[in-house]
Structure 1
Amino acid sequence: MNQKNITFETHLLDDIPSLMALRVGLKTGVLQVLHKGPMSRESLGAQTSLPCSGLDNLLGLFRQCGIAVLEGKCWQLTPMMQDLMSVDPAALRRRADFVALAACDVLMHGDSLMSDPQAFQRAAATFRFFRYDRALGTGAAHLEDTAPWANYVSDLTAREVPDLVPLIPLEGMGHLLEVGGNTGIFARGLLERHRGLRATVLDLPAVCHLGAGVLPETFNTRLTFLAGDAREIEWPDGDAVLFKSVLHDWTDEAAQKMINKAAQHVPVGGRVIICERGPIVEEPTMCGATASANLVFSQYYRSPSFYEAAINAAGLKLLPRQSVSLDMAFHVVAGERI
């Protein structure tokens, strides 16, 4: 997806009426129908389940939001919306749905988010979306419950790859263990950059099953999946261990234990690498509905100085920090075994 697509998508997701119109258009199929070509209101009504009044209101919102225009007697998508629908409508719907879910949570339960994160976690629908417990099996029901959030995370990761992969210090490394690597999207980006690298993704069984099912043949000999709970399963040794957007899920104590464990599985000259968003308090701006997707996790994002201290505590030599600003600031903190 190019930057123009990203900017337009963010414009739609940030505004509540636009977000609603986008979700309704995708859910009812109106946008998919218009993506095929211009169509009259009457033809649209015949091909969708919306009543006349609802369709008129939706088309009115489309026009106001820059999604579609009326040319003569036919409605058609704007060039920007046409391009956006050409990329990946399913991924667009996943992002729109998650932003809407998160926005409802931070608006309805923002007080507990700031005062009692555990109470917020119990009340927020966001945390029921991430059904990690259902990812422990690989039956049809487990995969059905896991696929929505695993695919959503994969969508986000794919967008982050161009900016984050160059910051991961893997020069000279032969084998990477990525803990919590989801369906392998980030590992694949690293393998494309480092042609001599092999990678193992450690994640829950259902996630690994989904990742292996969409793994391109070009990575068959270089990327493998190791299914299990990272806190319990035996880790393979490697030249580097990567935690990308995963340690914020754990307490300070648990994160330190994971970093210590990683340090024990790399040789002298090997590296432990952490890539995480920084704290909300250090962000210059947090605005629009899309910010909700990060605000729901705001109590769990840490300063990179926490991870630097944890790297030192694990007995590793700290490497220079790398940072980049995407939807939020990302920091890459790494340590080398000496």
Structure 2
Amino acid sequence: MTAAASQDKRLAGTVEYLVVDEYLRTMVDARALKTAFEVRFIDLLEEHGALSEAAALKALKMDEQGLRFLVALLEANGVIERRRGQIFLQEGFCVALKYRDLLETKLDFAGALINDFADSFTALLMDPASFMGQSRLFQLFDYRRCFEPTLENYQRTRAWMRLTSTLTRYEAAACLELHDFGAHRRMLDVGGNSGEFVLQACRRQPALRGTVVDLPLVCEIGLEHVLGEEEHSRIAFIKADLRAEPLPAGYDLVSFKSMLHDWPEQQALAFLTQAVRAAEPGGTVLIFERGPIAPKGVTPPFSMLPILLFFRSYRQPSVYAMHLESLGCTDVRRQDIRLDTPFHLVTARTPAAGRAG
């Protein structure tokens, strides 16, 4: 069995969630499905198993022409089917519906950013600085709003954290399957957002304790995110701006999950240098990041719009691996993973004595 085949076998149980993109391939498909959620058509079909057209008309308070048009769009997308005068959810869509939080999050964010692509894609290609200044994407991911505790800043920070947390909830499984988190006692997740990655790791490893270091409002929202979970007593948050403050020391695992691409390369590598200094001698630095996006033969689905707009940010894993080696790290390993886009898992063992220069 090849290494790729062996990895596919190990990850088989962790990637079912990718089915959601099959129902979000075009804007028309996505918008029709969003409407079906908004008017509770999906909920009604899930609750009752099937509905006649008459029952649907009564429940939805929609006119006959409107309902038939919506049903036709959903049927063409494989969401529903009609049999013997009844409307049912398709069996395949019922699998996707298990990941409703991901479906609805992708629908909301792709819809919110559609004008960035429709109106400003040329600017993204020709004048990235201009795109950053005018796009809704970079208004949404405005980390300057993560410091002062105002109502607007909380609302805006909470909005983008919903996307990153939901993606991490499902993406993390591949990383947790391919790296032995049971070998670690204390984990520091740098830029760890809501704590979702640490939460997933602690859920799998009862002896593991995790700390998230991130910007102040992110940490406050993160505390709320994990508070109701059984593992919350093993998860801590540290408020810090790592551009000006050092990482706390004393961790045998320092991780970066979908964080380094947010920063220019020089700053990202500076964060890695801090991580090697902060880790215990012989500890592990772990990077789980998207790689460059290069569509081959298949157009990316509409649901990928928020990810595609960041296409300039994703780096080859060799950038990180070479820097870790230059800091004296050993056993630098890389695993390439195919999820909705290419991902890379890079791990390295920190020097047994001393710290990175």
Same fold (TM over 0.5): yes
CA drift at 1:17: 2.5
1:60 and 2:72 are equivalent in the alignment? yes
2:346 to 321, 333, 336: 333
Against the structure 1 CA distance between its residues 34 and 179, is the aligned structure 2 distance closer, same or farther, given a 3 Å change threshold? same
CA drift at 1:12: 1.0
Per the alignment, residue 26 of structure 2 pairs with: 15
Per the alignment, residue 252 of structure 1 pairs with: 265
Stretch of structure 1 that moved more, 283-292 or 188-197: 283-292
Amino acid corresponding to residue 328 of structure 1 in structure 2 = T
Amino acid corresponding to residue 264 of structure 1 in structure 2 = R
C-alpha distance in 1 between matches for 2:238 and 2:15: 37
Per the alignment, residue 190 of structure 1 pairs with: 201
Identity, in percent, stands at 26
CA drift at 1:88: 4.7
Against the structure 1 CA distance between its residues 3 and 248, is the aligned structure 2 distance closer, same or farther, given a 3 Å change threshold? closer
CA drift at 1:201: 0.8
Q: Deviations over 1:247-283 (max 9, x none)?
A: 1110111112111111221222122222211112486
- Answer whether contact 1:198 1:222 (CA < 8 A) is retained: yes
1:163 and 2:174 are equivalent in the alignment? yes
Amino acid corresponding to residue 230 of structure 1 in structure 2 = L
Against the structure 1 CA distance between its residues 286 and 260, is the aligned structure 2 distance closer, same or farther, given a 3 Å change threshold? farther
Number of matched pairs? 337
- Answer whether contact 1:308 1:318 (CA < 8 A) is retained: no
CA drift at 1:286: 5.1
Per the alignment, residue 3 of structure 2 pairs with: none
- Runs of 5+ in structure 1 lacking a partner? none
Amino acid corresponding to residue 161 of structure 2 in structure 1 = A
C-alpha distance in 2 between matches for 1:150 and 1:9: 20
C-alpha distance in 1 between matches for 2:188 and 2:274: 12
- Runs of 5+ in structure 2 lacking a partner? 1-11, 352-357
Tell me the TM-score normalised to structure 2 length. 0.83
What secondary structure, in the 3-state scheme, does the structure 2 residue paired with 1:232 have? coil
C-alpha distance in 2 between matches for 1:45 and 1:22: 17
- Answer whether contact 2:280 2:350 (CA < 8 A) is retained: yes
What secondary structure, in the 3-state scheme, does the structure 1 residue paired with 2:255 have? strand
1:69 to 73, 81, 101: 81
**Aligned ranges for residues 1-338 of structure 1 at < 5 Å?**
6=17, 8-37=19-48, 38-48=50-60, 50-85=62-97, 87-138=98-149, 140-168=151-179, 170=181, 172-215=183-226, 216-237=228-249, 238-281=251-294, 287-317=300-330, 319-338=332-351
Amino acid corresponding to residue 77 of structure 2 in structure 1 = C
Against the structure 1 CA distance between its residues 206 and 48, is the aligned structure 2 distance closer, same or farther, given a 3 Å change threshold? farther
CA drift at 1:244: 1.0
- Answer whether contact 2:287 2:345 (CA < 8 A) is retained: yes
- Answer whether contact 2:18 2:339 (CA < 8 A) is retained: no
CA drift at 1:137: 4.5
Q: Deviations over 1:105-149 (max 9, x none)?
A: 334322222222222223332233334333334555443322332
Structural RMSD (CA): 2.9
Against the structure 1 CA distance between its residues 333 and 91, is the aligned structure 2 distance closer, same or farther, given a 3 Å change threshold? closer
- Answer whether contact 1:278 1:331 (CA < 8 A) is retained: yes
Stretch of structure 1 that moved more, 299-308 or 197-206: 197-206
CA drift at 1:181: 1.1
- Answer whether contact 1:183 1:211 (CA < 8 A) is retained: yes
C-alpha distance in 2 between matches for 1:78 and 1:223: 40
Q: Deviations over 1:184-209 (max 9, x none)?
A: 22112222344432110112333323
Amino acid corresponding to residue 199 of structure 1 in structure 2 = G
C-alpha distance in 1 between matches for 2:180 and 2:160: 28
What secondary structure, in the 3-state scheme, does the structure 2 residue paired with 1:218 have? coil
C-alpha distance in 1 between matches for 2:308 and 2:93: 27
Against the structure 1 CA distance between its residues 155 and 77, is the aligned structure 2 distance closer, same or farther, given a 3 Å change threshold? same
